[in-house]
Amino acid sequence: KRIGYAIVGLGNLSLGQILPGFGASKYAKPVALVSGDAGKAKKIAAQYGIDPKNIYNYQNFDHIKDNPEIDAVYIVLPNSMHEEYVVRAAKAGKHVLCEKPMATSAQACQRMIDACKQAGKKLMVAYRIQYEPHNRLAKHWVREQKFGKVKLIDLHNSQNIGDLAQWRLHKALAGGGALPDIGLYCLNTARYLLGEEPHTVTATLYSTPGDVRFKEVEETVLWQMQFPGGALVNASTSYGVHQSRRYRCFGDKGGYFGLDPAFDYERLQMEGAYAEGKQEVKIAPSIKEAQQFALEMDHFARCILENKTPYTPGEEGLQDQKIMEAIYVSAKSGQPVKLEPITTLDTFR
Ligand code: NAD
């Protein structure tokens, strides 16, 4: 059986990646669309062979509860809308896959987790990077200490953001600027690679004075995280410089590796180097690419079919949100912020 998904929000990500991604999926199929634009939804439904009776809008969304073709709902709306639609989907008795960032506050993340628990439904945050083969190999190399123990990881994710009208520049819809949108990849990937939770964060935030793009949300954040095993993470994100999405892990036994690009939808590249005598040998392993959204949707579909907990459950999104909130606190105070130790995530690792 294939799990039937309803896609909520027909914006760039849904049209450019998610709907095409079903073509490469083994366990998932699109069966319903939710959109405020009936004409657009009708056109897209025809394109993907979705029955027009399975088109919903934001008002009649709750009627999905009467539609047995829909097993799961994929929320692809602006960040601050995730909570409402995750909660409504759970109340309608559906499993929920939610885009990142999970929400715009830790309290909202907790309410989403609680709503899904109460409904007895699964909740997964769409952290595609964690299902992607290049990043999975990097995680494996960190864990198996390929070039020794990783002591330092440097991560960066930036893009020069345009289009003043977009929701990403409005705090009420986005929750923040570069940090929750693209900096989150650095944060989440560092935690993924190390399999540990940071105990301290220190951050600096900057927005160019007078740049109208950054009236409500931040432009650039630099932050550092300390992990209990001794690893230090240096991360940066910006909406104000040319795009670059990469990371590098430094081991203590003669080598380093990482990805550049690391967070793109395709053409990711692993790269590194190690010492052989006095020579430095470059490595660039070739890894078979896969459609990242198909991998992620299939993972969730299999969790539903086999009654398992997703690898990136709601608790992962909550933890990232708590750390991002600590990053903002540190940037404001100019002081390091200590994070509460958490153990609940160990059950997913
Ligand atoms: P988008 O602006 O292209 O699409 C958003 C959709 O929401 C549009 O169809 C829009 O009509 C609809 N919408 C409904 N109410 C709205 C409102 N009040 N204001 C604005 N739009 C409204 O955005 P997107 O790039 O598709 O991002 C959607 C979500 O997906 C975000 O949470 C974003 O962080 C996430 N995202 C994830 C990835 C990834 O790689 N996982 C990539 C891009 C976006």
Q: Do the interacting molecules here have an ipTM over 0.90?
A: yes
Q: Please indicate whether residue 261, judged by its CB atom, sits closer than 6 Å to ligand 1.
A: no
List the CATH code of the domain at 3-126.
3.40.50.720
Does position 191 have pLDDT exceeding 90, yes or no?
yes
Q: Where does 104-183 have alpha helices with state H? A: 106-119, 133-143, 171-174, 178
Omega before residue 198 within 30° of 0, cis: no
Domain spans, the chain: 3-126, 129-287+321-348
Question: How far does the centroid of ligand 1 lie from the alpha carbon of residue 78, in Å?
Answer: 4
Q: What is the mean pLDDT of residues 30-56?
A: 98
Q: Do domains 3-126 and 129-287+321-348 have the same CATH topology?
A: no
Architecture in CATH of 129-287+321-348? 2-Layer Sandwich (3.30)
Active-site residue 27, yes or no? no
Structure tokens at 31: 């069966």
Are 206 and 158 in contact by the 8 Å Cβ rule? The answer is no
Q: Given this model, what pLDDT does residue 343 score?
A: 63
- Asked whether the bond before 30 is cis by omega within 30 degrees of 0, the reply is no
20 membership: H or E segment, kind and range? helix 19-21
CA–CA dist 97, 124 (Å, integer): 5
Closest ligand 1 atom to 166 CA: 2
What is the reported pLDDT for 326? 98
List, in order, residues 6 or more apart from 80 with CB less than 8 Å away.
Answer: 103, 104, 172, 173, 174, 175
Query: What pLDDT score does 341 carry?
Result: 80
Identify the active-site residue in 127, 185, 239, 274. Answer: 185
**DSSP codes joined into one string, 289-343:** ---HHHHHHHHHHHHHHHT---SSBHHHHHHHHHHHHHHHHHHHHTS-EE-----
* Residue 131 annotated to the active site: no
pLDDT of residue 342: 76
pLDDT value at 347 more than 80: no
